[in-house]
Homo-oligomer: A and B are copies of this chain.
Amino acid sequence: MLRPWPVSLGDRISRSRDVPMYMQIIQAVIRDIERGRLTSGAYLPSSRELAQILGVNRKTVVLAYEDLIAQGWLDSTGTRGTMVATSLPDPVKRQHAEIEATMSNAAVDYRFAPPPERPLALPSGSGLKLDEGAPDGRLFPAELLARAYRSAAHNASRENGFQYRDPRGSPALRESIATMLKSQRGLPVTAENICITRGSQNGIFLASQVLVSPGDSVIVEALTYEPAVAAFRALGANIVPVDVDEDGINTDAVEYACRRNAVRAVFVTPHHQFPTTVSLRPERRLRLLELARQFGFAIIEDDYDHEFHFESQPLLPMAGYGPGLVIYVGSMSKLLLPALRIGYVAAPPPVIDAIAHMVSLTDGMGNTLTEDAAAELIENGELRRHARKVRQIYAKRRESFAAEIDKTLGDIADYRMPDGGLAFWLRFHDTDLDQMEQRAAAMGLRFASSRSFMTRADAPRGLRIGFASLNPYEARTALAALRKAAG
């Protein structure tokens, strides 16, 4: 009776306690069957022998063999011992690497779409960071959040509310969001017009899923929000970039593009254009709605930071006067916290149902506990109090950030004071931005590349720099570093 196995088994068994010993034996046997080291009908050493070879308790080997027999990998032949099940197919002969394949060193044997060279999101990491207009999470009292979660957890537990639920989101939050949109943004909505999403990016993604098929055209501005463009591209959309100026998207260019392409959607951020911060002027809003009616496209209106507007009252969203032409996307990331991933889409009920279907195949539903906690923070007024507090802080930070830019970058860059939102748009006179970005990366200063906003090579390049998440000291340090990178 030949018993060539175990070949180097001892080397492959780890003494670490990460993986239980009997499981390692099971794994090793299956892998050796899979790789043809153990073939159908081959005898294994007795449990006593293998235990001795490996220096483990015999019971461990018995347990492993029993499981392998129960699962059909091995056959017990009674007194003659244990053999590889004769039902198993003969392995295909092939070269094997010497090293055991793990998930980390395995060659990938299937084709997949590789990621782009430059990641969409600013990678997390240490060092200085200038974001694109994030809020300062440190200003939100952790205890408030903890209490809202506690109360949501206890309620859900009582009502068996931890199960799979409505893909449109928690009823309480849909109700609260509808009320908020009505009173703060003048939107003619009720809860049935709301689908909760995972942040505004998820809202844009879901809207595009119901609007765009491969080959359809989507209009975006020459400078815009890259993750939105990536979502359209992933659907096989033909991206049509059009000009944007200090009045927002150029509607003549939109009309021109519509005459040449089957445009299904136009993505805009009318309130504070991303990245340039300008507002879309009334005449262009009216024109865009008219074009939507004429060419049958949907306007995806991302109202991403309407909560922060420092001059006069904020402009009301286009969805308010074109409810059948606009899919409205918003988020609580700026007011509450990005980390909670609460966004929403507002649209007529048939569109909400279509979007809810996309939710159920994308991620099933949202995090109910978080949704209920957010609803509680709205209902008990804590979010409103927080908004009042941070609005004052951000208003001051906007002023002092502007002063700091004047001091540090005044000779090499220009900006227009933003009426609202949490970021500045900086245009540089003669600085080579590619060089600057390389130097910044080498210095450990992270910010979104000026290229990330551009959908056309001739778009006016610039940097979008958030001011809200930095206290005055941090702002000074970061801008000084930026200046250094500029050379």
Contacts and interface: CB of A to CB of B under 8 A. Distances in A.
B186 A157 contact: no
Contacts of A210: 112-113
Interface stretch (A354-362, A404-412, A428-436): A354-362
B162 A108 contact: no
B146 A182 contact: no
A438 to B, nearest CB: 22
Contacts of A162: 137-138, 140, 337-340
Interface in A286-312: 286-287, 289-290, 292-294, 296-298, 311-312
Given A162-B338, A322-B34, A110 B156 contact: no
A11 to B, nearest CB: 15
Contact of A365 (B85, B121, B324): B121
Contacts of A322: 34
Contact of A119 (B18, B115, B236, B357): B357
20 contacts: A18-B183, A19-B182, A19-B183, A23-B186, A33-B282, A71-B313, A103-B189, A104-B348, A109-B325, A110-B264, A112-B211, A112-B298, A115-B354, A131-B163, A165-B339, A201-B361, A231-B361, A234-B358, A341-B367, A363-B363
A309 B326 CA distance: 49
B119 A360 contact: yes
Interface in A106-160: 106-116, 119-124, 131, 134, 136-138, 140-143, 145-146, 149-150, 153-154, 156-157, 160
Contact of A121 (B89, B164, B179, B197): B164
A81 interface: no
Given A109-B293, A164-B121, A362-B201, A149 B157 contact: no
Given A156-B142, A367-B341, A296 B109 contact: yes
Given A88-B286, A89-B287, A322-B34, A134 B163 contact: yes
A367 B339 contact: yes
Contact of A30 (B320, B323, B360, B369): B320
A482 interface: no
How many copies are assembled? 2
A329 interface: no
Nearest to A23: B186
Given A87-B283, A88-B283, A112-B298, A202 B362 contact: yes
Contact of A164 (B18, B106, B134, B279): B134
Contact of A202 (B23, B103, B363): B363
A245 interface: no
Contacts of A141: 157
Given A87-B283, A156-B339, A320 B71 contact: no
Contacts of A357: 115-116, 119-120
